[in-house]
């Protein structure tokens, strides 16, 4: 059986005029036919272990609201995680949360390379070419990655409604954090429920910070993205936060 006609990347509104470029690496939960369900019950592919529930729909709503380009990962992160440096253990996990992934057991080097070639590289090369073209045209860019997280992880309740993750320089991340925290009753974590870690994260460090862009990763608790109305409310909330004026808002082109 071949790998099927599923592209690992979808691009929406490529010519959008906004400075913000949206990235949603965990938007999809599909698998090419040759992989079946990676040995999991079909219901597991609807869980958070397979994709970020609600994140793709929120990214689409933000793209429409901002007139911003958006890049979506269409395949399940269980096959290969687009927000991990390729080859680290979590990039093709044997265990996701508390669930074993049989289809990732004892992967041969040839299979790892297949996943790099068919999934990881096409997504990141497509995004990199797009950003290179913006740089060449003198366009300013802010990179905003959209994710979602579970209300409870391994038995531990998470109190935040959202989290804002960033690494130095922190101007953009702190501006987004301050804007969201200004809403009464909204609990927004700073670098929660995760932190940006270059040994475990890819899009923000590589496509954002290393290019000199203001870059931020926004996590929204997935039980708050359960309906179209809730998704639109989050898009309405996030749009002004990610487009606030920044001091010395210039793009630093770190690559020739």
Token output for 165: 């993750």
Contact in structure between 79 and 66 (CB atoms under 8 Å)? no
- For residue 91, the model assigns a pLDDT of 96
Burial of 247 (0-12, 13-18, 19+ CB in 10 A): exposed
DSSP letter, residue 203: I
**C-alpha–C-alpha distance, residues 23 and 147, integer Å:** 9
Q: What is the pLDDT of residue 31?
A: 97
Residue 247 lies in a domain: no
**Is 249 among the domain residues?**
no
Helix or strand run (H / E) with residue 114? helix 109-115
Overall domain count for the chain: 1
Q: Is residue 227 part of a domain?
A: yes
Would you give the DSSP letter of residue 47? S
On whether residue 107 sits in a domain, the answer given is yes
Q: What is the pLDDT of residue 249?
A: 57
Q: What is the pLDDT of residue 8?
A: 97
Rounded to two decimals, the pTM is 0.94
pLDDT digits (tens, 9 = 90+) for 169-187: 999 999 999 999 999 999 9
pLDDT tens track for 129-170 = 999 999 999 999 999 999 999 999 888 899 999 999 999 999
DSSP code string of 127-145: HHHHHHHHHHTT---EEEE
For the chain, list residues with pLDDT below 50.
1-3, 250-256
Rounded-to-integer distance, Cα 195 and Cα 211, Å:
20
In this prediction, residue 247 carries a pLDDT of 84
Q: For tokens 């994140």, what's the residue?
A: 55
Report yes or no on 255 lying in a domain: no
Query: What pLDDT sits at residue 256?
Result: 31
Domain-located, residue 1 = no
Residue 93: predicted pLDDT: 95
Q: What residue numbers bound the domain in which 157 lies?
A: 9-242
Q: What is the predicted pLDDT for the residue at 11?
A: 98
pLDDT score recorded for residue 248: 67
Taking the mean position of all CA atoms in its chain, how far away is CA 230?
19
How far apart CA 27 and CA 25 sit, in angstroms, is 6
List 162's β-bridge partners, or say none: 188, 220
CATH number at residue 122: 3.40.630.40
Domain-located, residue 88: yes
Among 28, 47, 25, 52, which residue's Cα sits nearest to residue 101? 47
User: Is residue 248 in some structural domain?
Assistant: no
């Amino acid at each position: 059986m071949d790998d099927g006609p599923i592209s690992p990347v979808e691009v929406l509104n490529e010519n959008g005029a906004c400075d913000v470029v949206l990235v949603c690496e965990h938007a999809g939960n599909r698998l090419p036919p040759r992989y079946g369900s990676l040995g999991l019950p079909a219901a597991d592919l609807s869980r958070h272990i397979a994709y970020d529930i609600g994140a793709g729909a929120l990214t689409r709503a933000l793209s429409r609201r901002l007139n911003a380009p958006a890049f979506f990962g269409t395949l399940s992160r269980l096959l290969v995680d687009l927000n991990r440096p390729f080859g680290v253990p979590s990039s093709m996990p044997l265990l996701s949360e508390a669930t074993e992934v049989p289809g990732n057991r004892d992967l041969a080097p040839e299979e790892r390379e297949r996943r790099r070639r068919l999934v990881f590289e096409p997504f990141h090369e497509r995004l990199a070419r797009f950003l290179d073209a913006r740089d060449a045209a003198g366009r300013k860019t802010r990179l905003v990655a959209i994710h979602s997280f579970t209300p409870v992880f391994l038995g531990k309740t998470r109190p935040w409604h959202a989290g804002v993750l960033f690494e130095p320089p922190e101007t953009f991340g702190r501006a987004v954090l301050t804007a969201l925290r200004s809403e009464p009753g909204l609990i927004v974590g700073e670098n929660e429920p995760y932190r940006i870690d270059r040994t475990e994260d890819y899009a923000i460090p590589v496509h954002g910070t290393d290019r000199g862009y203001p870059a931020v990763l926004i996590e929204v608790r997935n039980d708050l993205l359960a309906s179209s109305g809730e998704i639109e409310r989050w898009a309405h909330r996030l749009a002004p936060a990610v487009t606030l004026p920044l001091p010395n808002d210039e793009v630093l082109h770190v690559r020739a």
